[in-house]
Structure 1
Amino acid sequence: MTETLRSADGTVIAYEHTGSGPAVVLVGGAFNDRSTTTALADALAPAFTAYRYDRRGRGDSGDTGPFSPEREIEDLAAVIAAAGGRAHVFGHSSGAVLSLEAAARGVPMTSLAVYEPPFRAGDAPRPGADLLARLEKAGDPDEAAALFLTEAADVPAAVVEQMRQSPVWPYLRAQAHTLRHDVALFEPDFAVPAERYRGVGAPVLVMDGGESPGWFHGAADAVAAAVPGARRVTLAGQDHDVLGRPEVLLPELTAFWS
């Protein structure tokens, strides 16, 4: 059953929870609403109470302006408060970055597991510094979605064109107005804010997939190096699209949270 809460600025945030046991909050990335973490929530339910929510502007949640990353941090803090005031957190992709930013700012977490926060480290190619401005000026959702996929997600233009003809495109298009929220988390240059992450006090697990592009591995290494005491794990045979395979994540998460 869908429930709602109000974030610090009054924005309505929609969420659901399932299962029993210690609270876990699941934070999706770009193009995700709470439906994308359903399979993982169901897999966790026998041992945990899994909370999944619509990030600001997605699904059934509101989108009060003006936007800033601090508003999304407040939203996550409000969901954790609804879960009892403290929770394990799992963040995927830009949801991993949002979760790290919240932890660095003192949002109470029992622990934090992140999968492939899409920073750029070392000499990895970086999106243009004007990507956020270009997304805000995009003429329509199709343009915004294609721009994000090619520049922020590093998807080849030919593949994006195929995606535009596929049944999944209307869903991606419907989320396109929130992509600026994701990119704003990486301002100004998609680099890992190592100094800030040294202030993360919760235990942290940093994961990536063995089949993902190399820049994901570099980003995961850089995050793990920045966060004191972080544990680093690579899931063999996996790529960025891991949310639909909870059986892969479950052993690592349950071991980390036990």
Structure 2
Amino acid sequence: MTDYVTSRRGDRVAYDRYGPVGGGPAVVLVAGAGSLRGDEAVVAATARLVAGEGVAVLVPDRLGRGESAAEGRLDLDREVDALRAVVDAAGGHAVLCGHSSGCSISLYATAQGVPVDGLVLWEAPLAAGAAATKDWVDGLEERIDAGELEAAQEWYMKDMPPEWLAGAKASPAWPAIYAGVVSLRADGQSLRWASAQLESEALRDQVDVPVLSVYGTSTVPVMTAAAARIRAVLPQTEVREVPGAHHTWEPAGFAPVLAGFVRSVAAGADRGDGRTTEPQASA
């Protein structure tokens, strides 16, 4: 079922809700680059499985995507205001589950005081140093500001596996893909911020909720390195490997992990300690 909420900036955000309404634990899925609420079968399947375990799941369209139409500069703070409105719709607080650059958006939202109970970070792309990340994001913003949208999309994907860009450019949807690059400003800004906060270790003082950093059984080394880097700065982080490949999880493998984490966080809040049980790293 599609619902809508309006942010304090006046942006109308579309989201799908799965599972119980009100009173119980909730998770908001925060998409990474390019993902839409309605076109990802993996996300919908996962949401149904998690909801079947008694956890409410909200899946919004990011600003400038799908039914969350938005004009103008789609920067990180505006994106977080939209996310804050979705968390409010979830009951005023929720676990955030970020995918890829959705992880850094979720970290930033937590640091900015969005009522976040915990964080699940699926393959956070945060292994690179702060200087290199800044140069890359600055280049992205320069191209967006110049109206060079196809070049901006190519720039955003330049360090990804080359077959990803080749596949995107061969698709008939390529014009629509690069037209949507304006929504990636928030992704880039969040990655620039998170990389700097990790490198300086300032993130430790800004994020004090339980964290689960997850990657797939078939992934690239930078994702395992990023998970270890997050755990080194945020000692409350548990690192786990779950079934998944090509930067995507398998719903049947990931859903019980996600639902279990959300319920554990809710139990910790009920106890008044705000924490899950002590994390046991698997990597």
Tell me the TM-score normalized by structure 1. Answer: 0.86
Structure 1, unpaired ranges of 5+: none
Q: CA deviation at 1:159?
A: 4.9
Shift of 1:191: 4.5
Taking the aligned partners of 1:130 and 1:112, their CA distance within structure 2 comes to 27
Report the alpha carbon displacement of residue 92 of structure 1 after superposing the two structures with TM: 0.6
**Distance change in 2, residues 1:246/1:237 (3 Å):** closer
Deviates more, 1:83-92 or 1:226-235: 226-235
The 1:9/1:137 distance shift into structure 2, 3 A limit, reads closer
Cα 1:210–1:124, aligned 2, differ >3 Å: closer, same or farther?
A: farther
- Cα RMSD (Å): 2.6
Contact (CA 8 Å) 1:94, 1:117: kept in 2 or not? yes
Residue 93 and residue 253 in structure 1: after superposition, are their counterparts in 2 closer, same or farther (change >3 A)?
same
How far does residue 237 in structure 1 lie from its aligned partner after superposition? 5.7
What does residue 278 of structure 2 align with? Answer: none
The answer to whether the 8 Å contact 1:29/1:92 transfers is yes
Q: 1:138: how far off?
A: 6.1
Match of 1:44 among 23, 43, 50: 50
Structure 2 residue aligned with 1:182: 187
Runs of 5+ unmatched residues, structure 2: 264-283
Per-residue CA distance 1:25-76 (angstroms, 9 max, x = gap): 1111001121233222122121221101011111111325444312212111
Decide which moves more: 170-179 or 93-102. 170-179
Write the distance in 2 (CA, Å) between the matches of 1:122 and 1:137.
24
Distance change in 2, residues 1:225/1:168 (3 Å): farther
**Aligned partner of 1:12: which letter?**
R
Match of 1:252 in 2: 257
Q: CA deviation at 1:256?
A: 1.5
**Is 2:198 the counterpart of 1:195?**
no
Asked if the contact 1:92/1:114 (under 8 Å) is kept, the reply is yes
Shift of 1:140: 4.9
Whole-Å separation in 2 of the counterparts to 1:68 and 1:247? 34
Asked whether the 8 Å contact 1:106–1:200 carries over to 2, the reply is no
The alpha-carbon deviation at position 170 of structure 1 amounts to 5.4
Percent identity over paired residues: 34
Mapped contact 1:114–1:206 kept (Cα < 8 A): yes
CA contact (8 A) 1:208 1:239 kept: no
Cα 1:131–1:241 change in 2 (3 A) is farther
Give the Cα separation in 1 of the matches to 2:6 and 2:243: 40
Q: Does 1:207 align with 2:209?
A: no
What is the CA-CA distance between 1:78 and the residue it aligns to? 0.9
Residue 27 of structure 1 aligns with which residue? 30
Match of 1:143 in 2: 151
Residues in 1 aligned to 2:132 and 2:223: alpha-carbon distance in whole angstroms: 11
CA distance change for structure 1 residues 74 and 171 in 2, over 3 Å: closer, same or farther? same
SS of structure 2 residue aligned to 1:183 = helix
Q: TM-score, normalised by structure 2?
A: 0.79
Question: Letter of the aligned partner of 2:218 in structure 1?
Answer: E
Which of 229, 241, 250 matches 1:234? 241
Letter in 2 for 1:150: K
* Number of residue pairs aligned between Structure 1 and Structure 2: 253
After superposition, what is the alpha-carbon deviation per residue over 1:202-238, rounded to whole angstroms, capped at 9, x for unaligned?
2111112242221111111111222241111122563
Measured at CA, do residues 228 and 74 of structure 1 come closer, stay the same or move farther in structure 2, by a change above 3 Å? Answer: farther
